[in-house]
């Protein structure tokens, strides 16, 4: 039975992160499949920022089970829906409170993570925050407050989201935490670099995991395009320090997920 709440569908899948790893583009491409219906928000942030709003609030972000909408309460029941729906909130992977909250509502949900070279991811986050006027003048100053922070960081969710940039790249810790709550078969781990290099092949991997047929999607549009190391203005010494840190923190990642990326130890 596919997840539902009242007359609304609930997510069949969640894209949980990582931030600045093409989660927005990935969801946009997936929505190009005829059997994947979008929710009304790209990122509902229910399981982190909006959990106190309740499940009625969350369900309203997703399609009605029937084309009749609210009138479907008066229609005879139909068979199992032929489409799936989902959302992408890229801080879900990072915040330790989220997996248990998801499990309580969506125990059989399919979980998609897309990982990026963690140094490039961090640089892209810095440029993103700088464009919004929320970052210091230099990348080094942006990194300094959290370069010695372990995962999971302590503090309120909103504060952690804003100040703990470096630990967002500790993918092994985060996914090991998720895997302690959900079984391995409910995860699909994709690579940002693979999506850039072979978008259709990467999407077919995701479609297969989600249980829908392969489908050719227009991937020419890139949403929330960021800037990586090639953006310039980043000192090579801090990049080298971060590369060493991330290699240490992700030393067991390939064994955990059964997949190795070029940046992965």
> DSSP labels for 170-235?
-HHHHHHHHHTTS-GGGEEEEEHHHHHH-HHHHHHHHHHHHT-----------SS----GGGS---
pTM of the model: 0.92
Give residue 162's pLDDT: 74
Q: What is the pLDDT of residue 79?
A: 57
For residue 197, what pLDDT is reported?
A: 96
Q: Give mean pLDDT, residues 248-255.
A: 97
Let me know how long the chain is.
265
16's CB contacts (< 8 A; 6+ apart) are: 89, 90, 92, 93, 98, 111, 112, 113, 178
Domains, in order of start, for the chain: 4-257 (3.40.50.300)
Question: pLDDT tens digits, residue range 228-245?
Answer: 555 557 889 999 999 999
The pLDDT confidence band at residue 42, using thresholds 50, 70 and 90, is confident
pLDDT tens digit sequence for 178-193:
999 999 999 999 999 9
């Amino acid at each position: 039975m596919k997840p539902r709440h009242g007359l609304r569908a609930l997510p069949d899948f969640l894209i949980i992160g990582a931030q600045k790893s093409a989660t927005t583009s990935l969801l946009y491409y997936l929505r190009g499949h005829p059997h994947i219906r979008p929710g009304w928000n790209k990122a509902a942030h229910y399981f982190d920022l909006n959990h106190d709003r309740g499940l009625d609030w969350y369900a309203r972000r997703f399609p009605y089970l029937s084309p009749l909408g609210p009138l479907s309460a008066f229609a005879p029941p139909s068979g199992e829906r032929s489409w799936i729906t989902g959302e992408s909130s890229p801080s879900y992977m990072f915040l330790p409170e989220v997996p248990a909250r998801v499990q309580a509502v969506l125990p059989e949900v399919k979980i998609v993570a897309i990982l990026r070279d963690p140094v490039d991811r961090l640089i892209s986050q810095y440029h993103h925050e700088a464009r919004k006027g929320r970052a210091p003048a230099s990348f080094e100053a942006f990194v300094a407050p959290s370069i010695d922070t372990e995962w999971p960081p302590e503090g309120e969710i909103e504060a952690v989201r804003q100040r703990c940039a470096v630990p967002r790249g500790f993918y092994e810790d985060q996914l090991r935490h998720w895997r302690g709550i959900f079984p391995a078969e409910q995860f699909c781990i994709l690579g940002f670099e693979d999506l850039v290099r072979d978008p259709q092949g990467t999407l077919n991997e995701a479609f297969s995991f989600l249980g829908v047929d392969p489908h050719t999607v227009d991937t020419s549009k890139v949403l929330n395009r960021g800037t990586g190391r090639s953006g310039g203005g980043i000192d090579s010494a801090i990049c080298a320090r971060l590369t060493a840190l991330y290699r240490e923190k992700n030393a067991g990642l390939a064994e955990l997920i059964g997949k190795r990326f070029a940046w992965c130890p």
